[in-house]
Amino acid sequence: MQKLQFILIGLISINYRTSPIEVREKFFFQDEEKIKFNNLLIQECSVDGLVIISTCNRTEIYYEFENHVGEEKRIFHLIMKCLVEFKHYPEGLSPYVSKKQGSLNVSRHLFRLISGLESMIVGEFQIHDQVKEAFYFAQKNKMLGPILDRMFQKSIETGKFVRSNTAIGKGAISVSYAAVEIISKKYNLENSKILCVGAGETSKLSVKHLLNKNIKNIFVTNRNKKRGDHFAHKFGLQVLPFQELLENLVSVDVAIFCTSSSSPLISRKNLLNIMKKRKDQKLLIVDLSVPRNIEAEMSETYGLDLINVDGLKDIVNKNYNRRKSEINKAQLLIDKFL
């Protein structure tokens, strides 16, 4: 007689709704960490499949086990234990976690996620690519189980269908757009010297929005000089040496940080020295990175205005209200794929 197989599917989510940025950044996963964590779970609890999505607004851990019916709670707590130990997080994590169990519940969430319904900026497209990249990474590194494999393939199909058959992504704003809108309303940027730190997708979008507002005095710096030069050439910008970042922050008016650095680029001591050299000249820093590029607890520094991802909520709320009808329409389409 063939042995029946029971598959347990679960999700642990630490996201912008459940946790502040200071918690989310502690659980951001670089690609190499995903592999190490997968190996740890295989050793500690024989996980059969794992996909980790890690962005500025969320870290989500999708897991799969065979033949563990009735052990959902035990496995959830075991993974949580491994997670806090892996990330060296001694404080209580439970208040900041959203969990889902069962294929239907997890699928519904994933399909909403890739369609842009769970995003801070409803309808934004970056999450679609981020889910795909997380799936392909897990696939390449043989981290997938059969159920998660099919679930993520189906989610990509669903996300594409929803975006093609609704206006959920039409004119969708990004985190970069929201940041530029906020700072352009608070400051006169036409005569400001703006430094963009980083040369990735978020930096690219930030520069595009600034240029669309006819703001020309933009500079870029990047740790990888070749990539920074290519980025600057594409947009007609001037490159500043990354090793002179601290000196350049003394002379610019606005700095937008969008890097993938795993630790702060600017320490509290660095920033205090910078502000001292600037004397009475104010500095605006927009830190769109998670983990943050600017060391925590700098908001009270005289002359410094610091905005991070969690400071974009006003524009986010306007975006949500504008898209309510499309959200409902998108959900009806998602339900057909479940």
* Residue 125 confidence (pLDDT) above 60: yes
Please state, in angstroms and rounded to a whole number, the distance separating the CA atoms of residues 187 and 224: 30
**Per-residue model confidence (pLDDT) at position 226:** 95
Section 168-179 average pLDDT: 82
**Per-residue model confidence (pLDDT) at position 300:** 64
Section 261-277 average pLDDT: 92
Establish whether 196 is a catalytic residue: no
Torsion (CA) 291, 296, 299, 303 in degrees, nearest 10 = -90
Section 238-251 average pLDDT: 96
Section 284-288 average pLDDT: 94
The residues, ordered by sequence, that sit 6+ positions from 236 with a Cβ below 8 Å of its Cβ are none
φ/ψ bin of 149: left (φ > 0), alpha (ψ from -120 to 50), beta (otherwise): alpha
Query: Which has more pLDDT, 221 or 318?
Result: 221
Nearest to 274 by CA among 290, 296, 251, 292: 251
**Per-residue model confidence (pLDDT) at position 3:** 42
- Give 18-53 pLDDT, tens digit per residue: 999 999 999 999 999 999 999 999 999 889 999 999
- Number of alpha carbons in the 13 Å side-chain half-sphere of residue 240: 21
Helix (H) or strand (E) holding 9: strand 7-15
Section 76-95 average pLDDT: 94
* Residue 318 confidence (pLDDT) above 80: no
* Residue 193 confidence (pLDDT) above 50: yes
Task: Out of 45, 56, 82, 258, pick the active-site residue.
Answer: 56
| Average pLDDT taken over every residue of the chain | 91
∠ CA 335-118-145, nearest 5°, is: 70
* Burial class of residue 238, CB neighbours in 10 A (0-12, 13-18, 19+): exposed
